[in-house]
Amino acid sequence: MPFSDEERNKILEALKKKKVPRKCPACEGTEWTLGEQYTPLALNDMSAGLVVGGPTIPTVALVCKNCGYVSLHSTLILAHLPVKPEQKEPPND
């Protein structure tokens, strides 16, 4: 499911706070776009062969608009994401 506007804003705010991104390491471009949803990075113990559905690191992907270089950022480190929309209190009456 694509990021909600709230999730997207929190991610962009967290990246900005950490001074990410800067220049693209591949082409030195400075324009980036955020991937549409979380990008799970698979962790795999190859002694057991390829395991589908195993543990992952949740990341967000920044993509260089010029060359397509992909920069992945762990949401756990970045801002304790994934974020969930704040739940509204039910009315008391």
The whole-angstrom separation of Cα 4 and Cα 22 is 25
Task: Name which of 32 and 79 has its Cβ closer to Zn ion.
Answer: 32
- Quick check: 5 and 38 in contact, CB under 8 A? no
Shortest distance in whole angstroms from residue 27 CB to Zn ion: 3
Shortest distance in whole angstroms from residue 62 CB to Zn ion: 10
| 74 token code pair | 């762990």
Task: Name which of 6 and 31 has its Cβ closer to Zn ion.
Answer: 31
Residue 12 DSSP code: H
Residues lying near Zn ion in the complex (CB under 5 A) are found at 24, 26-27, 29, 64, 66-67, 69
